């Protein structure tokens, strides 16, 4: 497994609609393994392929936060929402592509998803709580939508400016490191 660099907003690849995964092959399995390793290392509870620069409809998630509990990694290829509850839930969301920025987002409280698994089979499951929020957040990434797109324009612009500054600071630090 290889840790992959996570794209930071703003990056045009984060706003693209992703292509379906056509074949479950070794390349897709390797990508899924790399994404899980990257997500756990970050640390995060979800990661979508466009966040590592791959414009495919694939995301990984594991919302088990209790360090004593066994992890429950999930890999979803070509996921689709088949049902959402009328009840909503407000959750403070963050994103590995928008580090250290959080905001409350309202989403359906429960969601049913259908996806292709790495085993080549179709799976369907209903999620609630953090799992539902995470599945919807990651699925949004596959359509080029970020959690900040649910915010008002001023808050969204403020966060975008912070991310632009972060990217400039990281580029400057990398340049200084290469000179040394």
Distance, in Å, from the CA atom of 172 to the CA atom of 65, rounded to the nearest integer, reads 34
Residue 133: helix, strand or coil by DSSP? helix
pLDDT at 174: 86
* Of the candidates 93, 99, 105, the residue with the CA atom closest to the CA atom of residue 163: 99
Mean pLDDT of 68-85: 96
Residue 175: pLDDT band with limits 50, 70, 90: confident
* Of the candidates 46, 68, 71, the residue with the CA atom closest to the CA atom of residue 132: 46
Q: Do residues 13 and 50 lie in contact, with contact meaning Cβ atoms separated by under 8 Å?
A: yes
| Statement: residue 66 has pLDDT above 90 | no
pLDDT at 9: 97
Q: What is the model's pTM?
A: 0.94
pLDDT tens figures, 114-167: 999 999 999 999 999 999 999 999 999 999 999 999 999 999 999 999 999 999
Q: Do residues 24 and 174 lie in contact, with contact meaning Cβ atoms separated by under 8 Å?
A: no
The values of phi and psi at residue 103, to 5°, are -155, 150
pLDDT at 176: 85
* Of the candidates 110, 111, 114, 99, the residue with the CA atom closest to the CA atom of residue 159: 99
- Of 124, 138, 169, 176, the active-site residue reads 138
Residue 65: pLDDT band with limits 50, 70, 90: confident
pLDDT tens figures, 32-44: 999 999 999 999 9
Residue 138 appears among annotated catalytic residues: yes
Q: How far is CA 157 from the centre of its chain?
A: 20
pLDDT at 47: 98
- Percentage of the chain beyond pLDDT 90 is 92
pLDDT at 178: 79
């Amino acid at each position: 497994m290889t840790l992959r660099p996570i794209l930071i907003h703003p990056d045009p690849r984060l706003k693209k609609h992703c292509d379906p995964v056509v074949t479950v092959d070794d390349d897709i399995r390797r990508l899924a393994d790399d994404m899980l390793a990257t997500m756990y290392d970050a640390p995060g509870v979800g990661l979508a392929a466009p966040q590592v620069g791959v414009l495919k409809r694939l995301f990984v998630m594991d919302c088990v936060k209790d360090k004593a509990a066994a992890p429950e990694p999930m890999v979803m290829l070509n996921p689709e929402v088949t049902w959402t509850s009328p009840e909503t839930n407000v959750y403070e969301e963050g994103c590995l592509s928008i580090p250290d920025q959080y905001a409350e987002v309202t989403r359906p409280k429960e969601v049913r998803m259908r996806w292709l698994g790495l085993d080549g089979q179709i799976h369907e499951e209903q999620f609630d709580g953090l799992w539902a929020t995470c599945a919807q957040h990651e699925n949004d990434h596959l359509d080029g939508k970020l959690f900040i797109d649910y915010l008002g324009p001023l808050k969204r612009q403020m966060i975008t400016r912070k991310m632009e500054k972060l990217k400039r600071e990281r580029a400057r630090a990398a340049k200084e490191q290469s000179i040394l």
